[in-house]
Amino acid sequence: MSLFTPELLAPLLTVCRRLGARHLSLFGSATHKPLHEVADLDLHLVLPAVDRAAYAALVEAAGLTVRSLATAEGRAWRVELRHGPFKPSPDAGSILQLHLLVDDAASLELAPCVLRVHRTATGRHLFGKPLPTPTPTRTRRLREACAELTRWRDALAAREIAFRHWQLDPEPRLVEGRLPATTAWELHCLLRGAAVASDLHYLTTALSEPGVATDAVGPLLRQLGDEHRSWHTLADRWDRVAEQAVEILDRRLDHLARL
């Protein structure tokens, strides 16, 4: 079944039009896989500004959209609004997730440039205008890479999932949050989130520098070997896995500091 059947996304698209949304795109695995093969449908929505009424309208529209998807797919769906590596556990059955990441003009400007470039290059535009591709200076690219690597290094050390979410009081703004990872699946999400984010920022930044060999900056999970392969037993090996991952991020941070 096609992902972009109008009646499936109609509630969300209707609200996008009513709120004057600037952009809606699909990114992640669903851009190149049929819907029945994915567990997470990632959408990035940009509004001119977020307020309580607009946010409530989006939450309602997302709920209506997942009901359409559940009817069409014959599987249960849930809505996730946090900007973070939250995915439904395979042990929960065939639950699928509509992961709606909401930005406004202000929060988008604060988003790491490398992340925006990656989504623009790999995503599928659905509504509004394509996002402009930022051209960060070398100084900003290094600063943002160090900030993201530090963020995930600290999250791994604290056994907490790092994420961002909308805080509506006293005024709407996207803020940082942390959530303890207590189950094996949550630890898996933490490790995968740290790996994806740090690889994107570090590899993009390091490989843009002259004289850096690609084999010297391999993906984090590859460097961990087989330690992370079975997420069911990750809790039993977490201290060792986390220690190794933190050491890798420390080395990356040291490398960036010397560039």
As given in the structure block, the two tokens for residue 170 are: 């006293």
User: For residue 82, which of 61, 59, 105, 64 has the smallest C-alpha distance?
Assistant: 59
Per-residue pLDDT at 4: 46
Work out whether the CA dihedral 223, 238, 99, 206 comes out positive or negative. Answer: negative
pLDDT of residue 13: 94
pLDDT in tens, the chain (259 residues): 445 455 678 899 999 999 999 999 999 887 887 777 778 889 999 999 999 999 999 999 999 998 888 887 788 889 999 999 999 888 766 788 999 999 999 999 999 999 999 988 888 899 999 998 888 899 999 999 999 999 999 999 999 999 999 999 999 999 999 999 999 999 999 999 999 999 999 998 887 877 665 545 679 998 888 766 778 888 899 999 999 999 999 999 998 998 8
Q: What residues does CATH 3.30.460 cover in the chain?
A: 6-128
DSSP summary character for residue 136 = -
* Token pair recorded at residue 75: 């599987």
**Alpha-carbon distances of 51 from 80, 166, 168, 169, rounded to whole Å:** 18, 10, 7, 10
Residue range 6-128, CATH number: 3.30.460
